[in-house]
Structure 1
Amino acid sequence: MGTVGDQLSFFAANRERPILLAGGRITGASAQAEQADILIGTDGRIAAVGPGLASQPDTVRVDVSGNLISPGFVDMHQHLDKTGVLRFTPNPSGTLQGAREAFAAYARTAGPEDITRRASRTMARCLSRGTTAIRSHINVDKDAGFNGIEALARQREAWSDRMTLQLVAFMTPHPGQDLEWLAGNIDPAVRFADAVGGTPAVSEHPERYMDILFEAGARASKPVDLHLDEHLDPDNVHMHAALDRVERFGMQGRTVFSHISVLSALEPDAARAIMERMIDLDVGAVTLPAANLYLQARDRTKLPPRGLTRVAELLRGGAKIATASDNIQDPFVPTGSGDMLEIARWTLLAGNLMADELRDVHRMITDIPARLMGLGADYGIRPGAWADLVLTDCEDTDTLVAGGPVQSRVLARGRLVSETATVLPQAMAETA
């Protein structure tokens, strides 16, 4: 990558002059990346994109030929209030309920400083690996109170010059916690949030609970993002009831169903009817391979199912489906590096996708979640968008997803925020 790092290290860190990234190749849906220059203004936004852009007298021209340029990665389902608590929250059963109980106990003592410290560490790790936008679900319940959502609202502001952070008010039902508390506290919680969320399958009164969530979203004109049917029980399906509320409250195009693992446990015709209805109502989907692979089917005596939803059918059928990290190093998922390329690979392998769908998986961590999060004109490689970019030495999008880079640089809001490289022996470097 030549002297790219030296030039970007100063100018992109300080944003003192416009920067012209010249000669790079831009990721896209086609097999062949498009060669184009990218002009970044001092405001951190892309001013122009196209071949052979002319440098102005005050412009710093940086030769990035040999670089593949992707828009920043989008992780649209995390739990930053839970991240990094693994050592404090043992989950001996390895189940979803075991994880819920473990974190509920910890949440009673987790103060704002603890949440901020852990969340900041994970956000920094994600940013260093190219993630420039995160949507995080934050528990609001009798255990956690408002500690998490208030702390992360402050983080959203503190990180706004480097990352887009959206918060979901995750109104969490627990056994014995009546819905009156959630109903009485949801509007104040939603004022801190960018979206409304919850998990109907564990509610004692799921239909009333969904009404509370959708009513609050409609009142606040904010989207709904549900943890929906995160299990493999075909007799416990809430998807049609949720879709009924999408229609009733006019939330078409503003609703996301995360997990929906149960689709893989339904007979094909029943699953197909739900998927077609999701597409008709413009409801997005998010698969969470790490959590679903770890938590699901531990009670099975035969070789267990994978736990994911019908990823391939949703993607090929035209649904807007993204993939995301979910939890990072907590009782729900004990691993996690914040690397969306790693999640993309898990999605392809566990979701029964094919090698010729690597570019589609790249869209599942870029364009698709950006649309589901409503990032609009602020996102992408186009004039007016934030200059949130990942520059790598990969040949094309397929190789980026399949194996990842040896060298990479991350720009956030036009500033260089991360550089990583493996030092090669001299003989190898000369032929690389």
Structure 2
Amino acid sequence: MLHDGTKAGLHGKIEGRATLLTGGRVIRDQGDVAAAAILIGPDGRIRDIGPDLSGGPAADRVDLKGRLISPGFVDMHQHLDKTSVLRFAPNPSGTLQGAREAFARYARQSGPADISRRAGRTMRRCLSRGTTAIRSHVNVDKDAGFNGIEALAQLREDWRDRMTLQLVAFMMAHPGQDFDWLDANVDAAVALADVVGGTPAVSHDPARYIDTLFGAAARAGKAVDLHLDEHLNPAATHFDTALDCVERYGMQGRTVFSHVSALSAMPGEDFRRIMDRMIRLEVGAVTLPAANLYLQGRDHPILPPRGLTRVAEMMRGGVAIATASDNIQDPFVPTGSGDMTEIARWTLLAGHLLANELPATHAMITSVPARLMGLGPDHGLKAGAWADLVVTDCAAVDTLIAGGADDMQVWSRGRPVSRLSVEPAETEITAADA
């Protein structure tokens, strides 16, 4: 059952005191596990990690009894302004364009209170399942105006003691793009956001549109995260145009390309050229398996494609690639629970990764997106980071991703915030039993 961690007694922790977590096993960056204690200060940050720590008489002690400790999960691509509108914005075609049209109709009458209510509910669900940082793309256009980004900017402030929320000013493109409106409003939208984004493939002038977004990001000193070539047509891609802007505006190490589905439709040599250029310019990538599996390839009557980018080749080739939820229960993705281990499983299966790469998919929902989001010293199992932790009864990283936990406790900013526990049907089979 799921317990609300805001109630007293989840671990008996007393506010305003240090906490010493003992008897746990921490996940390192390479997926290996080491026994260690974690000392958390009253400010919610990790003071120290090591095998032999003493918190002193003023620290509350919690014995984790051998449980596995992961850093909090990072979902670096959501659309919180769209979440949970499936019943009100149906998408009968199941296509990307059908989803865009369905949400555009709904967005015209969706006010800030509606957006805040739906987004807050999804954030609570995500936090209860271990996600402690989210990057949300938020529509800004002539129809919806600034409703979404203003509502989520307030949620970002309201949630700052529980979750890191980054906002992408998702400057919506249209086939008949009004560039005068875009030029007049982009800086104001970016001022409310942490990142600049958009979807070039929809614009009637993609080069001008991409340049406008990079220019706004450069003026504001903010990063870029584009929905780049979320389609399967290798003859209509914009990778080089975007990469040229990375160079021209000096956005190396501060740019992410999300979806990049079209890379899977390219000949190998063309893909490798783009991949090498992304690596050279320190451009990260995000794959969104739920959306790509649902929306792409519906016009292929035989052997419809998976719709994902070349996940395995990019990961093994050295691209910093994360995986994320994208949409949750809306016209773009009708499913979604907020559980990032579920997304990691979909990534491994649909991306044709191998069983021995289960630990790599853990990195795709923790350390890799944390790096791409610029979370730096705030995330991870290290001194100085927020004590955002997922504590489970799993034996190792691979079992955490492969099947999830029967008992999971989530800590945010040094406080226990939820516990999910189920009664297993039978004891886990060990190697000796097999």
Whether 2:10 is the aligned partner of 1:9: answer yes
Shift of 1:219: 0.1
**CA pair 186-30 structure 1, distance change in 2 beyond 3 A:** closer
Q: Deviation per CA, 1:327-367, whole angstroms, max 9, x where unpaired?
A: 00000000000000000000000001000101110000000
Secondary structure class of the residue paired with 2:308: coil
Give the CA deviation at 1:302: 1.1
Q: Deviations along 1:260-286, whole A, 9 cap, x unmatched?
A: 000000000000100010000000000
User: CA distance change for structure 1 residues 233 and 52 in 2, over 3 Å: closer, same or farther?
Assistant: same
For residues 176 and 290 of structure 2, the distance between their equivalents in structure 1, rounded to whole angstroms, comes to: 29
Q: What is the rounded CA distance, in whole Å, between the counterparts of 2:28 and 2:9 in structure 1?
A: 24
Q: Distance in 2 between matches of 1:202 and 1:352?
A: 29
Ranges in structure 1 where 5+ consecutive residues have no aligned partner: none
Preserved contact between residue 75 and residue 340 of structure 2 (Cα < 8 Å): yes
- 1:87-236 counterparts in 2 under 5 A? 87-236=87-236
Contact 1:321–1:368 (CA under 8 A) maintained in structure 2: yes
Tell me what 2:259 maps to.
Answer: 259
Cα-to-partner distance string for 1:91-149 (whole Å, 9 max, x where unaligned): 11111001001111111100000000000000000000000000000000012100000
Tell me the distance in 2 between the aligned counterparts of 1:8 and 1:40: 18
Higher share of residues assigned helix: 1
Is the 8 Å Cα contact of residues 27 and 68 (structure 1) preserved in structure 2? yes
Query: Does structure 2 conserve the Cα–Cα contact (< 8 Å) formed by 1:15 and 1:414?
Result: no
Q: Partners of 1:262 and 1:424 in 2: how far apart?
A: 42
1:278 and 2:268 aligned: no
Whether contact under 8 Å (2:29, 2:367) holds in the other structure is: no
1:376-431 CA distances to partner (integer Å, 9 max, x unpaired)?
A: 10111111100000000000101100111000100000111110111358x969x9
Q: Give the superposed CA RMSD.
A: 1.7
Identity of aligned residues (%): 67
Q: In the alignment, is the contact (CA less than 8 A) between 1:214 and 1:224 conserved in 2?
A: yes
CA contact (8 A) 1:173 1:179 kept: no
Match of 2:104, SS state, is helix
1:306-333 CA distances to partner (integer Å, 9 max, x unpaired)?
Answer: 0000000110011100000000000000
Deviation at 1:52, TM superposition (A): 1.2
- Consecutive unaligned residues in structure 2, runs of 5 or more: none
Aligned partner letter, 1:183: D
Q: Are 1:400 and 2:400 matched, yes or no?
A: yes
Aligned to 2:295: 295
Q: Give 1:31 shift.
A: 5.8
- Give the match for residue 328 of structure 2: 328
Match of 1:25 in 2: 25
Contact (CA 8 Å) 2:176, 2:203: kept in 1 or not?
no
Structure 2 counterpart of 1:102, which letter?
A
Q: CA deviation at 1:176?
A: 2.7
Cα separation, 2, equivalents of 1:229 and 1:64: 45
Looking at structure 2, the residues matched to 388 and 299 of structure 1 have their Cα atoms a distance apart, in angstroms, of: 43
Structure 1 outlier segments of 4+, above 6 Å: 5-8
Distance 1:295 1:92 in 2: 12
Residue 31 to residue 100, structure 1, CA distance change in 2 (3 Å): closer
> Higher mean Cα deviation, 251-260 or 171-180?
171-180
* Alignment match, 1:409: 409
Contact 1:15 1:44 in 2 (8 A): no
Contact 1:29–1:360 (Cα < 8 Å) also in 2: no
Name which of structure 1's ranges 29-38 and 199-208 shifts more when overlaid on structure 2.
29-38
Q: Are the aligned partners of 1:69 and 1:390 in contact in 2 as well (CA < 8 Å)?
A: yes
| Residues 1:245 and 2:245 are matched in the alignment | yes
Quote the Cα distance in structure 1 between the aligned partners of 2:200 and 2:61.
Answer: 53
Q: What amino acid does structure 2 have at the position aligned with 1:338?
A: G
CA distance in 2 between partners of 1:366 and 1:154 (Å):
25
Q: Is the 8 A contact 2:190 2:220 kept in 1?
A: yes
State the distance in 2 between where 1:59 and 1:138 align.
41
Tell me how far 1:8 sits from its aligned partner: 6.5
Displacement of 1:237 in angstroms is: 0.7
Counterpart code for 1:250: G
Q: Is the 8 A contact 1:139 1:170 kept in 2?
A: yes
Count of aligned pairs? 424
Cα distance between partner residues in 1 of 2:130 and 2:378: 16
Secondary structure, in 3 states, of the residue corresponding to 1:88? Answer: coil
Native 8 Å contact 1:196 1:213 kept in 2? yes
Length-normalised TM-score, structure 1: 0.96
